[in-house]
Structure 1
Amino acid sequence: MLRAATTVARRTALSSRGVAAPRAMAFHASAPRDEEAKETAPAPSKGGLFGTGLSEYFAIPIGMTAAVPLLKLDLYVVNEETQLAAVFVAFCVALWSQGGEAIYNSLDEKAKALLKEHNEAEYKVISALEQKLDFLKANQNMVNDFEAINSIREDSYAKLNAAGVIKPKHDFKVQVERILNMIAQEEANVTEKTKIAIMQEATATVTEAFATDKKLKKAALDAAIAQIKGGAAGTDPVAAEFSRFLKAKAEAASKVDAGAEEAEQRAALLAKMSAVAKSENMMFDIDASGKFIMK
């Protein structure tokens, strides 16, 4: 009778609370599948007493009827153990009806959290394996890549060798052109300096002549007055004096031996070219006689 009453009380508590019996959680170490995510629909139940469709209140007369022979024949003795069992059953019913849902939710949350952690760890492992697979696939052509690199390197070395044959000649040509340009520049500088020196000397000489010679002063004054009046232009005394000085200078230069001066200028030019060749690390040097000495 007590067992039947306990069963009836348990089913009544479950029906009144609407709490489903906890189901076992499936733990696995693989990615969740769609078919596992779908909950299996429970089999339809007729309800009632033992699923027969009868009212659960029929359990009371059935329990009483079964309890009479049990107690009469001393098959079941009602004592302190029965009271203890009743208290324990009452405790279980109260715990199940009042805190069963909370206990179920707590265990279910822990199970879901554990499953989520397992899935995340597996996703990381799968991602790492996929990256490794991509890396291995990319390295399949490593041999071909190195062969192509070696081929390009050989072609580059061949081109560098071909260029290396021409480059010294090109460098030598550039250095010789540098020396020739220096010679031309020095000659132009010497010519310009000579012109400037002659003109300065001519200007000083003519100025001194007009300052000291009264005839030249009078001739210059007469020429200026005639030009102002618009009369017939005579010989310009200033130009005539410059012309006379230049002719005298040319005659004097033709009589003087210019070899020593030219030799001095040539020696200075050769020394300058030799210094430039050394400072610019050219492929040759120039001695005092003007001869090119290859290094």
Structure 2
Amino acid sequence: MFRAATSSIVKRAVLRSGSRGAPSCTVPGQMSFHASAKREEEAKADAVAVESGKGGLFGTGLSEWFALPIGVAAAVPLIKLEWYVVNEETQLLAVFLAFCVTFYTQGGDAVYKALDQKAVNLLKEHHEVEDKVIQALEHKLEALKANHNMVNDFEAINTIRRETYEKLNKAGAIKPHHDFKAQVERMLNMIVVEEANVTEKTKMALMSEATASVTQKFSSDKALKKAALDAAISKLKGGKADDPVQAAFIQFFKDKAAAAAASKDDSEEKAQREALIAKMNSVAKNEKFFFEFDAQGQPKLVV
């Protein structure tokens, strides 16, 4: 019984002596080390440690360090009178207490820091995971907000589509008029070009015919040759003589005009008109015009 009481007193004294350098999270009476991320738990542990130490040595209010000299003083008569026998159990207890005190005082901080660093790393990883979860939830919230506005977007799209169709209908009512105007202008330009080509061809043909006729006339008549030569010499000398060649060309064109006025043959004009109508109908068919021309050159709508 004395051995158990003495062991208990010495153990409590050693534990109290090392509590000053112990971490704030250490609970008195326990040889354990742990780390906590919450300051509230450390504060509670300190409060428990203070409250448990109010009694002092055997409730007298004295420091528990006095247990050491009292234990030594009591151990002398106990050992002398052989009330307490120092054996291998006592030595083993002393060695174990020395190991506990040494480990507590020398390696406690290292163990505490290691455990505390592990707690910090765990807390950091936990925060990273929480950040990722929060970010994912924020993305989901944005997607839900976007879906919430989808109805308004579709309503706006339908409104724009309806307005566009109305504008297209108005433009569709005007577009045929513009197309018809462009087609008529195209045909008029084609007629002007064809008439210009026919006129040019007629001029070239008349000039060729007039040149051949005047050349043949002057070649066969010596008097005309002499008159042309005299007129040329007079012009070279600065005189004013009538040109028989010019007079011959003028007379040819007068005779040609009179013959054309007296002639009732319009086959050439009909052929030219038919060729022009065929060409215009070909363009109208290829380009899908609203009209085409009949044999008399009158336009008619294409059904």
The AA in structure 1 aligned to 2:179 is D
Match of 2:211 among 196, 203, 210: 203
Contact 1:2–1:63 at 8 Å: present in 2 too? no
Query: Identity across aligned pairs (percent)?
Result: 56
CA distance in 2, matches of 1:268, 1:160: 40
Partner of 1:273: 280
Partner of 1:104: 112
Taking a change above 3 Å as real, the CA distance of residues 208 and 69 of structure 1, as seen in their structure-2 partners, is farther
SS of corresponding position for 1:235: coil
Q: Does 1:124 align with 2:132?
A: yes
Matched length = 280
Taking a change above 3 Å as real, the CA distance of residues 193 and 61 of structure 1, as seen in their structure-2 partners, is same
Match of 1:282 among 285, 289, 293: 289
- TM-score, reference length from structure 2: 0.73
Segments of structure 1 that go 5 or more residues without pairing to the other structure are 29-35
The CA RMSD over aligned residues, in Å, is 3.9
Taking a change above 3 Å as real, the CA distance of residues 76 and 282 of structure 1, as seen in their structure-2 partners, is farther
Taking a change above 3 Å as real, the CA distance of residues 257 and 99 of structure 1, as seen in their structure-2 partners, is farther
CA distance in 1, matches of 2:89, 2:130: 52
The AA in structure 1 aligned to 2:171 is A
Shift in Å at residue 111 of structure 1? 0.8
Contact 2:214–2:248 at 8 Å: present in 1 too? yes
Match of 2:154 among 118, 142, 146: 146
- TM-score, reference length from structure 1: 0.75
Shift in Å at residue 78 of structure 1? 3.4
Taking a change above 3 Å as real, the CA distance of residues 90 and 243 of structure 1, as seen in their structure-2 partners, is same
CA distance in 2, matches of 1:92, 1:258: 143
Shift in Å at residue 284 of structure 1? 3.2
CA distance in 1, matches of 2:81, 2:165: 114
Taking a change above 3 Å as real, the CA distance of residues 55 and 203 of structure 1, as seen in their structure-2 partners, is farther
Contact 2:281–2:292 at 8 Å: present in 1 too? yes
Segments of structure 2 that go 5 or more residues without pairing to the other structure are 1-5, 27-33, 51-55
Taking a change above 3 Å as real, the CA distance of residues 13 and 250 of structure 1, as seen in their structure-2 partners, is same
